[in-house]
Chain A
Amino acid sequence: MNSEILSFENVTFTYNAEDGPVRPAVADVSFSIQQGEWIALVGHNGSGKSTIAKLMNGLLFPNKGKVKVFGQEMSEETLWDIRSDLGMVFQNPDNQFVGATVQDDVAFALENNGVPHAVMVERVHEALSQVKMEDYKDHEPHHLSGGQKQRVAIAGALAMRPKLLILDEATSMLDPQGRMEVIETIRRLRESTGLTVISITHDLEEAALAERIIVMNLGQKNMEGTPAAVFSQGSKLTDMGLDLPFAMRMTHLLQEAGVGLQEEHMTEDKLVDELWKYYSKA
């Protein structure tokens, strides 16, 4: 099942390159993503994550290097074909809304893709219920609360039934429960449909759930690996403006306070387990 769905080959991109020498927003970045993977893309503010997302859906084209999606090189010619299977949720949902009502907005990409009306209606309904926004289907998307806007933007991407879903901080304004629900929904979709997910996030608890993390720093790819491997780099991450998941921070704080924990824990359950063992042995 290991087939490549997206790759960057030595991609460099500079905004306004004509204005003279500025640091590239994305500098010589390469990676390969396989079908069905869940990737977290993390990095400090301005490290190039959203630029990478825009290169992935052909909103921007590299100055150097190649972007390949679904086996085709991204270009003016392949762009529309690629986009019909690619769902994208931008950092600010307001920039993304096109419909006058929530349901029109969610239906927009489907109409563009020529989905028959009856199917469309059903998918819009399904997508809105997946994000718990059916009650708002006749509302104007710009006149919603911050979290409601993000839910609608996510519904728009889900309704397309994409093969590849790119989320650019798509849950940053959801309450913790809402965020877990959305992550759970996408996780289920992934299991049932083989969806590939690339999630850009500052939430390291969320990144810890991914199969693989790509870490950006100053426009360059700095690290790539499983959450356990990436988070074991500790101070290297904090030096880049990042942090560790809560359970790992707690492990370190407890060790500093004199509790002799032996292992690094990524989850609270495991941490409590070791604390209990440690305590009951004493």
Chain B
Amino acid sequence: MEILLKGVGYSYAKDTPFEKRALTDVDLHIPSGSYTAIIGHTGSGKSTVLQHLNALLKPTEGVVMIGDRKIEAGVKAKDLRNVRRQVGIVFQFPEQQLFDETVLKDIMFGPLNFGVPEKEAERRARELVVQLGLPEGVLDKSPFDLSGGQMRRVAIAGVLAMEPEVLVLDEPTAGLDPRGRREIMDLFHELHITKNLTTVLVTHSMEDAARYADRIAIMHKGRCVVTGEPKAIFSNEEQLQDYSLQPPRSVRLQRDFEERTGLKLGEVSLTEEVLAKNIALAMADGGGSL
């Protein structure tokens, strides 16, 4: 499903003494089936943009197109049920999302709310709890009697249980242990491919943005200042610095390696696996004894 932001502005607490502008004239195109990573400094407006993707926030200026639904500043938007079913958001803090008495009920809430039969909703919940690596017995616990990383996993399960067409992820790996981080990012990617999802990821991990996304958008002071492909974005270190960002570790190591040895690896290495392969090749070609 395609999403389009055109000239979007947003102010929190508009027309009050506490009015705070968060977005200015944002143009952002999210093509159907794309995997877009939104990156940017603290407070640059990423979470605010995400909440426009399922009309949780409505623009105070401009237009948001969600599929064929039009959400326009100053125009009342009626019946957003379909939008909410199609676009699932994992919030930045899992506590914002959890509310029910037990983990099972919490995960089943979304699907039940959108008319999925009870049996099917429960099947999904039980399956997801395993997929997300939660410990046995967690289903009957209160979601608030869990560790931070366990809450995060439950919040993710609740969104995946709705089987949305668009998956919107606000720093989904914050609080996850390293294995959980990798497994859950791989799970999102697998769903993205096999279910043909449209995925939008906000992350401070340039490594994840480089590994999984096919498009990158940079937010800076409430504006969407750059969009492009990961290779182009992450090989332009000067531009990243302008926005207080830096390339992923593999790209920085590649730069240091190239400066030190005088070798050139040819392509920018977006992941550590690719970098290792490219260094091994370059050293073999360059005469290094392997």
Chain A positions within 8 Å of B, measured between CB atoms, are 15-16, 43-46, 49-50, 91-92, 94-95, 139-140, 143-148, 151, 169, 172-178, 202, 204, 238, 241-243, 246, 249-250, 253-254, 256-260, 268-269, 271-273, 275-276, 278-280, 282
Contact = CB atoms under 8 A, between A and B. Distances in A.
Nearest to B244: A177
Given A15-B145, A177-B244, A276-B261, A148 B275 contact: no
B175 A254 contact: no
23 contacts: A45-B150, A45-B175, A50-B148, A139-B20, A140-B18, A143-B12, A145-B46, A146-B171, A148-B42, A172-B174, A175-B245, A176-B245, A177-B41, A241-B179, A242-B179, A250-B253, A253-B272, A268-B249, A272-B256, A272-B257, A275-B260, A275-B283, A279-B263
B280 A258 contact: yes
Given A143-B12, A275-B261, A50 B204 contact: no
Interface in B242-272: 244-246, 249, 252-253, 256-257, 260-261, 263, 272
A92 B170 CA distance: 15
B257 A253 contact: no
B92 interface: yes
B103 to A, nearest CB: 13
Given A202-B177, A279-B286, A45 B149 contact: yes
A143 B49 CA distance: 15
B273 interface: yes
Contacts of A242: 177-179
Given A146-B93, A173-B174, A174-B204, 11 more contacts: A49-B147, A146-B47, A175-B244, A249-B272, A250-B275, A250-B276, A253-B276, A257-B280, A259-B290, A268-B253, A276-B260
A280 B257 CA distance: 13
B44 to A, nearest CB: 8
A280 to B, nearest CB: 8
A147 B92 CA distance: 10
Nearest to A49: B147
Contacts of A95: 95
B206 A176 contact: yes
B213 interface: no
B150 A46 contact: yes
B279 interface: yes
B148 A282 contact: no
Contacts of B180: 44-45, 241
B228 interface: no
Given A250-B276, A254-B280, A275-B260, A175 B42 contact: yes
Contact of B175 (A94, A202, A238): A202
A97 to B, nearest CB: 13
A272 B260 contact: yes
Contacts of B170: 146
Interface string B2-40: 000000000011000010100000000000000000001
Contacts of A259: 276, 279-280, 283, 288, 290
A91 B246 contact: no
A46 B283 CA distance: 43
Interface of B: 12-13, 18, 20, 40-43, 46-47, 92-93, 95, 135, 145-150, 152-153, 170-171, 174-182, 204, 206, 244-246, 249, 252-253, 256-257, 260-261, 263, 272-273, 275-277, 279-280, 283-284, 286-290
Contacts of B246: 176-177
A147 B42 contact: yes
Contacts of B145: 15-16
Contacts of A275: 257, 260-261, 279, 283
A120 to B, nearest CB: 25
A276 B288 CA distance: 10
Contacts of B277: 257
Contacts of A250: 253, 272, 275-276
Contacts of B179: 44, 238, 241-243
Contacts of B257: 272, 275
Contacts of B256: 268-269, 272
B148 A45 contact: yes
B243 to A, nearest CB: 10
A282 B261 CA distance: 12
A50 B180 CA distance: 18
A12 B223 CA distance: 51
A241 to B, nearest CB: 4
Given A259-B280, A275-B260, A172 B175 contact: yes
Contact of B42 (A50, A178, A249, A258): A178
Given A46-B147, A50-B148, A254 B276 contact: yes
List the 5 shortest-distance A-B pairs measured between CB atoms, nearest first: A45-B149, A147-B42, A253-B276, A243-B178, A257-B280
Nearest to B182: A243
B92 A146 contact: yes
A280 B286 CA distance: 10
A260 B279 CA distance: 12
Given A50-B148, A202-B181, A268-B256, A91 B279 contact: no
